[in-house]
A and B are shown apart, each in its own frame.
Chain A
Amino acid sequence: MIKRTAMGIIFSNMHDNHLGSLTRGRTTGSVPFGGRYRLVDFVLSSMVNSGVREVGVIAKSNYQTLMEHLGSGREWDLARKLGGLTVLPPYSSGDNQGIYAGRLDALAGVSSYIQNGRAEYVILADCDLIANLDFQKMIAFHEEKGAEITLAYRREKIRREGNENISVFEVGSDGRVGQVWLSPQAEEEQNAYLNVAVMKRELLEKIVEDARSRNKRSFTKDILVEKSDSMRIYAYEIENCVMRINSLQDYFDASMALLQPQVRQELFPSNRPILTRVRDQVPAKYGLGAAVKNSLVADGCIIEGAVENSIIFRGAKIGRGAVIRNSIVMAGSVIGDGARLEYVVADRETTIRDTRTLVGYKTYPLFIEKKSVI
């Protein structure tokens, strides 16, 4: 397989409106996940592990935490003189209003970044996927099919609720995309588009230019739905573990899936690590009386209570006699002595005082906002 050069474009704010309090004050890309990561880490590391050396992250709003997290891109080995990581905040000039309305609109705002790229291909992706993707394989598929655009998809049981930003399509026996539907109504297993697309950089430039002159803003509506007949659009199935975070329930379920060894094996193979910002924390410390079962615990934690089926992020403290079950405790949160949490997602730096009891339900986890004190 000949290695092709590709640049990545990541949309960090797509899906912000589906994640409730998790995206209050942050982008989808900077939502904490899996004990020490943020959502952007998965797609960004996938790109880096696939040999991508220039990545633009398009930011729209609330991107301070994202910028802080990405920094110069050093942790992803993207602090480079040529290429590397570039955060692309809203930019207004002439007919561009700054805040974009759709992917094409956003791409129009960064067209000079794309034009200045040196890679042959462009990978477009959002931050809502928990996956370790091999884009070189996808590009090889793209070339083999002689495709103009290749879309990544997976077989997925569609739920009517929360389907408004899901697109599905027909896939012909040769892999070509047929009809494309937005917000599908049928609750059955379908070919769900993962909002990951590959094409030649030159083609993307042309599409963006054309869209700008015709005032087209949506990549799915204006390109995929409109052009599936006239363009050679192919579908590449992702068969390994992909979890999509499209709702708070998805977030909770995907987090809990990390407790399964085979999910961790697929997401964190040693030769394709998921990279993230280093925080220089101490190893987690377990005190006398700690009783931890089936849980993920990150560095910097101090655990003195019972933790079961839970994910404890960096630097969280679980007090003596506290009982944490089926919950997610994010970085820097402090759970007091004797407190009890069940089906709770405590955002960063929350304080749950001694002996407080908070109980959600499996299908309705209780989300506690960042820095809350209870």
Chain B
Amino acid sequence: MRKKEWIAMLLAGGQGSRLYSLTKNLAKPAVPFGGKYRIIDFPLSNCVNSGIDTVGVLTQYQPLVLNEYIGSGQPWDLDRQEGGVFVLPPYQKSSGSDWYTGTANAIYQNLPFIERYDPEYVLILSGDHIYKMDYEKMLKFHKEKEADCTIAVLQVPMEEASRFGIMNAYDDGQIYEFEEKPANPKSNLASMGIYIFSWNKLREYLEKDAKTPGSANDFGKNIIPNMLAAHERMYAYAFDGYWKDVGTIDSLWEANMDLLDPKVPLSLYDPEWKIYARNPALPPHYIAPGAVVQNSMITEGCVIEGTVDFSVIFAGVTIEEGAVVRDSIIMPGSVVKKGAVVDYTIVAEQAVIGENAVIGARPEKMENISEWGVTVIGNGVTIGAGVNIAPKSMVETDITAEEVQGK
């Protein structure tokens, strides 16, 4: 195997429990996003566009959809003669077998994979952020600073800084302190969960960490603090583009809506920085004579007969006559039947919203705004005709009109 300058390791094992029913049968990075993508398309496309040709994807929670989706890596141009994309689940070794116990442990268990390429640098990514970033610029910065570890950071509003891992750094970017969700933040440089390590250093700390009893085997909790404590050269690389953690229902909804806002600096139209995805073979979408579609994104295979406003409609969705979908996200293959009204809702894949059903509500219509929130209809769920689903609900099983009447 030829030596590679750098490779990427993408942490995709998280359950994403704060996405509730959306990740019941699906790892978080496989959650559909932006009309035709899945979350993982963003870091994978960033890798390819940054010139990285070898990516290990570490999976352990519900990997089926993700495995199938990644396949040979061809949609991202990652089907390579040497390198390419590899799905790396935990595996059995002669010394026993373990699940990945933490982010650092996942990388540690795959030391042999990384060693095959003998890289100078390893880029560590997570599979739950939406952003476009040229990692090559970050690598250049890492080399210029002769850093051992470079952490991408984003300036967040000071009042929100206590929700993030905060890097306190000198003017030249050298980090002197790391605080996880500080009550009184000293800076607003939030870690984006994107790290470049010089491989020799990282291997040293991974091996040390693996021998430390009681360690959480986590980058944020163990590796980064340990390296800081040992005065390794750690630098903060400032990123100023769009970046969003889509780990919660609200943030996932917001990030989708951001795509509809021309003021949000995340353009997916840049031909030089395409976001790649596995494409279904469907005809263009059809907008019927009675339809009203504005301020929305719609992709192939859809049939729209109703009204769609401020919504993101994924492949193969049908919205029947008289149905109204506003401020919502309808994932692949779902059907919104005649006369149904869907407001501020995420409808997962292959769900059916029955005729005249009312899903979610508009915040301005609420008497008590604290009862309002984004509604979620889970994968494959069928909502019966005329059923009313309250805002903020998470529906994981079918609900028929009879059941509602019986209550």
Give the interface of A toward B (CB within 8 A): 34-36, 74, 258-259, 261, 264, 267-268, 273-276, 278, 280, 282-300, 302, 307, 311-313
* A interface footprint on B303-335 (CB within 8 Å = 1, 0 otherwise): 100001000110000000000000000000000
Chain A binder among B80-88, B160-168, B280-288, B384-392: B280-288
Instruction: For residue A40, give the distance in angstroms from its CB to the closest CB of chain B.
Output: 15
Top 9 nearest A-B pairs (CB, nearest first) are: A283-B35, A35-B284, A283-B299, A273-B281, A298-B284, A282-B268, A283-B297, A296-B284, A292-B287
Choose from B281, B288, B292, B312 the contact partner of A274 (Cβ within 8 Å).
B281
In angstroms, Cα B4 to Cα A175, docked, is 65
Choose from B288, B294, B298 the contact partner of A294 (Cβ within 8 Å).
B288
Give the interface of B toward A (CB within 8 A): 34-36, 74-75, 260, 268-269, 274-277, 279, 281-300, 303, 308, 312-313
In angstroms, Cα B296 to Cα A350, docked, is 25
Q: In the bound complex, do residue A282 and residue B298 qualify as a contact, i.e. CB atoms below 8 Å apart?
A: no
In angstroms, Cα B248 to Cα A200, docked, is 60
Q: In the bound complex, do residue A284 and residue B297 qualify as a contact, i.e. CB atoms below 8 Å apart?
A: yes
- Contacts A36-B300, A282-B35, A298-B300 given; indicate if A287 touches B294 (C-beta within 8 A): yes
In angstroms, Cα B206 to Cα A191, docked, is 75
Closest to B76 in A: A280
Choose from A259, A280, A292, A296 the contact partner of B293 (Cβ within 8 Å).
A292
Main secondary structure of the interface of A (DSSP, over half): loop
In angstroms, Cα B303 to Cα A258, docked, is 13
Q: In the bound complex, do residue B276 and residue A268 qualify as a contact, i.e. CB atoms below 8 Å apart?
A: no
Q: In the bound complex, do residue A294 and residue B297 qualify as a contact, i.e. CB atoms below 8 Å apart?
A: no
- Contacts A293-B291, A298-B300 given; indicate if A283 touches B36 (C-beta within 8 A): yes
Q: In the bound complex, do residue B287 and residue A282 qualify as a contact, i.e. CB atoms below 8 Å apart?
A: no
- Contacts A283-B34, A286-B294, A292-B293 given; indicate if A299 touches B283 (C-beta within 8 A): no
Residue among A259, A283, A295 with most chain B CB within 10 A? A283
Choose from A276, A283, A286, A299 the contact partner of B281 (Cβ within 8 Å).
A276
In angstroms, Cα B365 to Cα A350, docked, is 46
Choose from A259, A274, A299, A302 the contact partner of B286 (Cβ within 8 Å).
A259
Cβ of B303: which chain A residues have Cβ within 8 Å of it? 261
Choose from A36, A259, A284, A287 the contact partner of B298 (Cβ within 8 Å).
A284
Cβ of A298: which chain B residues have Cβ within 8 Å of it? 284-285, 300
In angstroms, Cα B262 to Cα A288, docked, is 11
Choose from B279, B282, B299 the contact partner of A280 (Cβ within 8 Å).
B279
Instruction: For residue B276, give the distance in angstroms from its CB to the closest CB of chain A.
Output: 5
Cβ of B268: which chain A residues have Cβ within 8 Å of it? 282
Q: In the bound complex, do residue A35 and residue B283 qualify as a contact, i.e. CB atoms below 8 Å apart?
A: yes
In angstroms, Cα B251 to Cα A45, docked, is 40
Closest to B303 in A: A261
In angstroms, Cα B277 to Cα A300, docked, is 14
Q: In the bound complex, do residue A294 and residue B283 qualify as a contact, i.e. CB atoms below 8 Å apart?
A: no
Q: In the bound complex, do residue B286 and residue A264 qualify as a contact, i.e. CB atoms below 8 Å apart?
A: yes
Residue among B279, B283, B284, B288 with most chain A CB within 10 A? B284
Cβ of B300: which chain A residues have Cβ within 8 Å of it? 36, 283, 298-299
Q: In the bound complex, do residue A297 and residue B295 qualify as a contact, i.e. CB atoms below 8 Å apart?
A: no
Choose from A267, A283, A293, A299 the contact partner of B287 (Cβ within 8 Å).
A293
Instruction: For residue B259, give the distance in angstroms from its CB to the closest CB of chain A.
Output: 8
Choose from B279, B297, B308 the contact partner of A285 (Cβ within 8 Å).
B297
- Contacts A35-B283, A268-B283, A273-B281 given; indicate if A286 touches B288 (C-beta within 8 A): no
